[in-house]
Copies of this chain bind each other. A is one copy, B any other.
Amino acid sequence: MKIDSTKKADLSAQIAQAIRDAIIDGRMIVDERLPSEAELAEQFAVSRPTVREALKRLAAQSLIRTARGAFGGAFVNRLSYEEAYGQQITTSTLLLSMNAVSFETACEARYALERACTALAAQRRTADHLATMRAEIHRQAQPGLSDESFCASDVAFHRALVDAAGNPVLSYQLAGAVEAMQPLMNMITFTARSREEIVGLHGRIADGVEAHDGATAESALHELEIYTQHLGRDVMAARARRAT
């Protein structure tokens, strides 16, 4: 791992990459302790602050964790699903907000991915998942709910649907797509009429999942996508009118 050629990148970036490579291709295993900062500094022939910058880069990606005190130090971190969710959400949110991704594109991606889970969810759902979905539907039907709360409940509903597929890798992938959409969804003002429509479709999805009937759930989800796209277009049109 001592490899550190005379390329034209920052030393701290090179060192971070060297350690990252060692972790990714298995030369360092989970919970293994890295040499102390002083030792790393000597190995790479750089100063301690430079090593520290490299370690902070890795810590930002949750590749390592550090502990103070005797027998502390930097350890290879087991990347948990929670940490992976978090990074996925941050990255997805920024990607959408910084690249002027249209509501249409983001919405299409989200529902396409979600449709991928629906059949599995109908097949494997537990009573718990179903109960969560029903509870969120009930919350969404409450009058006087703010738009933000309605959206948050929407996310929770879809999250439960995804989790019902019982595949943590799928849940991880979907978390980013669904949560990153929320800021875009929050731009929509939900009328009583549109809420009613959405709650109805949610109910049909839950019915399909409850009956282990993937086709019904998928078709309701597809209707929901069409309706959401419709709402999105209305918002964009209204915004365009206001701009003139």
Contact = CB atoms under 8 A, between A and B. Distances in A.
Nearest to A53: B56
Interface string A82-118: 0010011011111111110100011011001101110
Contacts of A211: none
A170 B78 CA distance: 27
A30 interface: yes
Contacts of A117: 112
A52 to B, nearest CB: 6
Interface string A186-225: 0000000000000000000000000000000000000000
A207 to B, nearest CB: 22
- Contact-size category for A: 35 or more
Instruction: Work out how many copies of this chain go into the complex.
Output: 2
A177 B116 CA distance: 13
Contacts of A101: 168-169
Contacts of A112: 116-117, 120, 165, 167, 170
- Give me the 6 closest cross-chain CB pairs, A-B, nearest first: A57-B60, A109-B169, A116-B116, A112-B116, A60-B60, A109-B170
A34 B83 CA distance: 27
Given A113-B113, A113-B116, A79 B95 contact: yes
A56 B12 contact: yes
A62 to B, nearest CB: 8
Contacts of A20: 90
A88 B90 contact: no
B116 A98 contact: no
A63 B113 CA distance: 26
Given A112-B116, A116-B112, A106 B169 contact: yes
A243 to B, nearest CB: 19
A89 to B, nearest CB: 10
Interface string A47-65: 0010011101111110100
Given A84-B91, A96-B169, 4 more contacts: A16-B60, A24-B94, A61-B91, A173-B173
